[in-house]
């Protein structure tokens, strides 16, 4: 039987988003102009809700931990509204639902994060996972204490889970959160042998090998981008690397095929929370539907545009037909 569906595993978070007039220096004051209603956040929450809007016919499955509290009940109810299977979304009896204070100003955002129940997610949570899905997405390593813990055989517990999921026949897709280069490199080394597709931004790609992918003038170093891209496959990445950045995206396949596109220009920018996840949702959709490489990058970039026009992480999500219409009527910058 052909596999169908996408599993989203990892961080389940409630975002508390506050729009400020500016980012203040230490000890200074900024005005909070607007507070958004609480919204779901975290990689799996965001990509699954985005995918539910893109194509409601794709089966979606949630894996993670939430607290036995109003925030956890909110995440569960929101997932169920989008018909996301929450059988493997475990309620912790000892930790609160993870939350993040998102302070947005000047087109940028800064995060103050409580790990909460997410830190309890461990390989045990995946022991009996057997949904008939095609893709297993994990995000974000380096923000999941139980999976970032050391493992004597696989380097980290996250590395163990990725290997196990791949052995069960899933196409494994990984996203990580930005961390210091030495920490990021260790996580990548442990994770790559169990990862089919890696989706990260340019800062994270550089941190994996202790380099800066931007030149002195802040433009992308195209030659270094290609050089770093090859290194992920040397560490064991199996199928595809995707690096996204505000100016566009770069992808590389295991056979050395490369593709680089420019971003679309958004009609307006309200917020950038969840933009990387919206891009990742586009890649996941393309993988699920066997869409060619270059088209997949354009689709992911266009999907991210709709995210930028909403303050929350998933409020801008639209059906795939609307994404394709945008692609047909707008040229990349």
Tokens of 37: 């209603």
* pLDDT over 70, % of the chain: 98
Reported in sequence order, the residue ranges of 152-311 that DSSP labels E, i.e. its strands, are: 155-156, 171-176, 197-201, 240-245, 248-253, 258-262
Q: Which segments of 108-180 does DSSP mark as H helices, in order?
A: 145-148, 157-167
Q: Quick one: which H or E segment has residue 306?
A: helix 293-308
Q: How far is CA 246 from CA 122, 272, 304, 315, 329, in A?
A: 33, 11, 10, 20, 20
pLDDT at residue 1 in the model? 66
Which fold, 6-329? 3.40.1190
Q: How far apart are CA 8 and CA 173, in angstroms?
A: 10
Mean predicted confidence (pLDDT) in 116-144: 96
Which pLDDT band holds residue 275 (cuts at 50, 70, 90)?
confident
pLDDT of residue 149: 97
What 8-state DSSP symbol labels residue 121?
-
Specify which residues 63 forms β-bridges with. 9, 88
Q: What is the pLDDT of residues 228-272, one digit of tens each?
A: 999 999 999 999 999 999 999 999 999 999 999 999 988 877 766
- For the chain, the structural domain boundaries read 6-329
Q: Which helix (DSSP H) or strand (DSSP E) does residue 206 occupy?
A: helix 202-207
- Residue carrying structure tokens 């917020």: 271
Each residue of 6-34: pLDDT tens digit?
A: 999 999 999 888 999 999 989 999 999 99
| pLDDT of res. 146 | 97
pLDDT in tens, 167-194: 999 999 999 988 888 899 999 999 999 9
Is the per-residue pLDDT at 304 higher than 80?
Answer: yes
What confidence category does residue 311 fall into, taking pLDDT thresholds of 50, 70 and 90?
A: low
Q: What is the dihedral of CA 72, 78, 83, 88, to 10 degrees?
A: -10
Residue closest to 2 by CA, chosen among 296, 288, 292: 288
| Spatial contact of 251 and 239, defined as CB atoms under 8 Å apart | no
Please tell me the predicted confidence (pLDDT) of residue 66: 98
pTM: 0.92
């Amino acid at each position: 039987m052909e596999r169908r569906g996408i599993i989203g595993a990892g961080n389940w978070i409630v975002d508390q988003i506050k729009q400020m007039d500016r980012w203040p220096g230490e000890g200074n004051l900024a005005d909070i102009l607007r507070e958004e209603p609480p919204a779901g956040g975290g990689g799996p929450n965001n990509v699954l809700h985005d995918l539910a809007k893109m194509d409601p016919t794709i089966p979606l499955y949630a894996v993670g931990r939430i607290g036995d509290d109003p925030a956890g009940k909110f995440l569960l109810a929101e997932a169920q509204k989008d018909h996301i299977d929450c059988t493997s979304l475990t309620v912790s009896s000892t930790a609160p639902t993870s939350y993040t204070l998102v302070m947005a100003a000047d087109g940028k955002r800064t995060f103050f994060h409580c790990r909460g129940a997410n830190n309890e997610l461990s390989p045990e949570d995946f022991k009996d996972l057997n949904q008939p899905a095609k893709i297993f997405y994990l995000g974000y390593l380096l923000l999941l204490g139980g999976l970032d813990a050391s493992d004597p055989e696989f380097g980290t517990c996250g590395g163990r889970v990725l290997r196990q999921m791949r052995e069960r026949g899933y196409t494994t897709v990984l996203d990580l959160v930005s961390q210091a280069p030495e920490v990021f490199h260790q996580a990548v080394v442990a994770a790559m042998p169990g990862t089919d597709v890696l989706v990260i931004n340019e800062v994270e790609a550089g941190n994996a090998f202790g380099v800066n992918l931007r030149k002195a003038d802040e433009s992308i170093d195209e030659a270094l981008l290609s050089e770093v891209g090859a290194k992920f496959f040397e560490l064991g990445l199996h199928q595809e690397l995707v690096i996204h950045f505000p100016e566009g995206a770069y992808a590389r396949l295991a056979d050395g095929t490369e593709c680089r596109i420019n971003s679309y220009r958004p009609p307006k920018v309200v917020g950038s929370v969840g933009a990387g996840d919206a891009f990742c949702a586009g890649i996941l959709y393309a993988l699920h539907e066997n869409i060619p490489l270059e088209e997949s990058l354009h689709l992911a970039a266009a999907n991210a545009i709709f995210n930028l026009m909403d303050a929350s992480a998933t409020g801008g999500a639209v059906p795939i037909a609307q994404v394709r219409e945008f692609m047909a009527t707008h040229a990349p910058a």
